[in-house]
Amino acid sequence: MSPYLSIPQIGIKSYSIAIIIILIFFSPGVSMGEVSPASDQTEESPPLPPQEGTAQPTAPAEYPILPPAEGTAPQILKGIPQPSRGILTWLREEILKGVELRGYVKNETAYRYVSPTAFSKILNIIQLEPSYSFNQSLRWSARVWAYYDLAYDIQDIGTVAPIKPFAFIQPPDPGKPEPDIENLRDIKIDKYGIDLKEFYFDIFFSNMDLRVGKQIIRWGIVEGWRIIDEVNPLDFKEHILRDVADRYIPLWMVKGDYYIGPLTIEGLWIPDVKGHEPAPLRSEWSQFQKLPDLKKVPRNFENSEAGLRTSGMLGGYELVLAYFYHWDEFPAAFRTITGLGLGNLGISPEVTFFPRYRRLQSYGAGLAKSFGKIVVEGEFSYVDGKYWGTCTACGTDEAVFNEIQRDYVKHVVGLKTVLYGADISLDFSQDIILHYTGDIQQKRHEDAASLFMRKEIRYGTMVPQFLAISLINRKEYLFRPKLEYRYTDKITFLFGADVFSGDPGPDSGRLNFFGYFDDDDRVYMEVKYSF
């Protein structure tokens, strides 16, 4: 069992900020600069499945701004217009005329072809990415994401999210109201909303940059694997099937980069503490949730997260060293069980949970080297303070559950090359629990491998891709073939499939990460207009 996380909620502040931004951008007389977005060629690779027992289960393009010439002090406030007349007039005439706006409008339609067949999503998205340079030393950027899913308007909700006969037992909601006659299972859905994905200011100095605000940080070398790259938590609303940039939950933080020759020293201070977000309760991708009474980490200086990362090129090697003082994004259960041995009398034992987030320290290193057409890369991390679920005499009336603290290490090794014009990447990863004992519900090591292939054909207008992921110990697989067709620089079509394979039933004390969705195979199409 595990204290899983609550259903994502969109706060009033996020709505208010987003609505104000949109109203300002589309006020009469505003001139927006048009920027053509670069094509997304981010390689997909998954994190390892969630740690079990105690815990079950890109950033947007940046705008290059040249820093001030060396030897000069940046004048951050110099050149910022002063409101000598009405604030709205000043905003429109002095500020908004310099705003650059990019973004996209997209439809994502997916059809589950395993019975019961259904359109699992007809998701319509608009993303706005405004930015404004006050001067050479100060820039503001944001990313707002609004969406509406039509699948629930044209189909029965129980068909979109069918019940699984082996489904994990979910805790009941306290004070649950009378059930909806059209939704007797009380399926939680995420039908529409507005998310403030990013909102930050960049401040440029001669040999240092600061970024302050809501943002996403990518720390890894090996794309997609969460070895060093653990700053932002993940959103499992659609398992791991969303675009890489939309899997990460942005956090309010301060990031500073200091440049010394070929090296960059990056520091983080994060007062915004969050855990992983699960899919809505009993929805199609619902696999794990939080346990009752999970206490949030209070927001104060003492509970902040902090990190330090050094990166750069030395002797032809790309090198990364990282330290992160943070909270475990999967909390520990800390349970007590009373009434064991009464099962023969038909009385169920009573389980009481005291779920808590726990502090972790992660020490990481990454290395990459090019040898002609072959690139060898890898990451390693030592994690101190992790709690694991234990079970003594499992499967009997005398079963005893508890938690135990054990450090663990994780690593990934990858090869990249180009063969017959195709980009090919092969990765192998492991999580290994140190000082392992047999009562720990998680296996001593979890092994995973992935294969990614991509090739541009017909002058780059068509891009076939293929991703295969294997959870070796569990004998579970995910296959993701897709074809991108670039009709114009602004209009793109995408056709693909997501195929899961593996034992769907839960093992004792853990969930099958891919096999759980063996009956959720789907095909999909996306249409995207970028501006």
Average pLDDT value for residue range 477-482: 98
pLDDT of residue 293: 78
**Is 511 among the domain residues?**
no
The reply to whether 55 falls in a domain is yes
The answer to whether residue 393 is domain-embedded is yes
State the residue range of the domain holding 108: 12-458
Most confident of 14-23, 235-244, 292-301: 235-244
pLDDT greater than 70 at residue 31: no
User: What sign for the dihedral angle of Cα 216, 218, 223, 225?
Assistant: negative
Is the pLDDT reported for residue 302 higher than 70? yes
In three-state secondary structure terms, 356 is strand
Positive or negative torsion for Cα 325, 330, 335, 341: negative
Enumerate the β-bridge partners of residue 390.
402, 440
H helix or E strand, kind and range, residue 247? helix 244-247
Least confident range of 30-34, 344-348, 520-524: 30-34
Domains: count for the chain: 1
Domain contains 346: yes
C-alpha closest to that of 121 among 285, 289, 287: 285
- The DSSP bridge pattern shows strands 400-405 and 359-371 to be unpaired
Q: What's the pLDDT at 395?
A: 67
Residue 21 confidence (pLDDT):
45
Residue 296, pLDDT score: 84
Q: What is the mean pLDDT of residues 447-472?
A: 96
Mean pLDDT score, 177-197: 79
Q: What amino acid is encoded at 210 in this protein?
A: L
Residue 90 lies in a domain: yes
Residue 470 has pLDDT above 90, yes or no: yes
**Residue 351 covered by a domain:** yes
- What pLDDT is attached to residue 504? 79
Half-sphere exposure of 202 (CA within 13 A, CB side): 22
**Nearest-angstrom CA–CA distance, 516 and 474:** 11
State pLDDT tens for residues 357-401.
899 999 999 999 999 999 999 999 999 999 998 888 776 666 677
**Strand, coil or helix: 127:** strand
Position 45 pLDDT exceeds 70: no
The string over 370-401, giving b where at least 16 C-beta atoms fall within 10 Å of a residue's C-beta and e elsewhere, is: eeeeebebbbbbebebbbbbbbeeeeeeeeeb
Q: What is the pLDDT of residue 86?
A: 73
Range scoring the smallest mean pLDDT among 224-233, 439-448, 488-497, 503-512: 503-512
Task: Tell me the C-alpha distance between 315 and 114, whole Å.
Answer: 53
Cite the beta strand spans of 393-472 per DSSP E: 400-405, 408-419, 422-433, 445-454, 462-471
372 within domain boundaries: yes
Tell me how far apart the alpha carbons of residues 221 and 370 are, in angstroms, rounded to a whole number.
Answer: 13
β-strand partners of 211: 202, 255
pLDDT band at 340; cut points 50, 70, 90: low
- For the CA atoms of 235, 239, 242, 244, the dihedral, rounded to the nearest 10 degrees, stands at 60
Average pLDDT over residues 163-182: 60
Q: Strand 476-486 vs strand 462-471: parallel, antiparallel, or unpaired?
A: antiparallel
Is 231 contained in some domain? yes
DSSP secondary structure letters along 34-45: E-PPPP--PPP-
DSSP line for 132-163: EEEETTEEEEEEEEEEEETHHHHS-HHHHSPP
What is the structure's pLDDT at 6? 37
Model pTM score: 0.78
Give the Cβ contact number of residue 428 at 10 Å: 16
Report the chain's mean pLDDT, rounded to a whole number: 82
Compute the average pLDDT of residues 75-102: 68
Whole-number percent of the chain with pLDDT over 90: 58
* Cβ neighbours for 127, distance < 8 A, ≥ 6 positions apart: 103, 104, 106, 143, 144, 145, 146, 197
Check pLDDT > 70 for residue 2. no
pLDDT of residue 33: 39
Q: 210-226 pLDDT, tens per residue? A: 999 999 999 999 988 99
What is the per-residue pLDDT for 365? 98
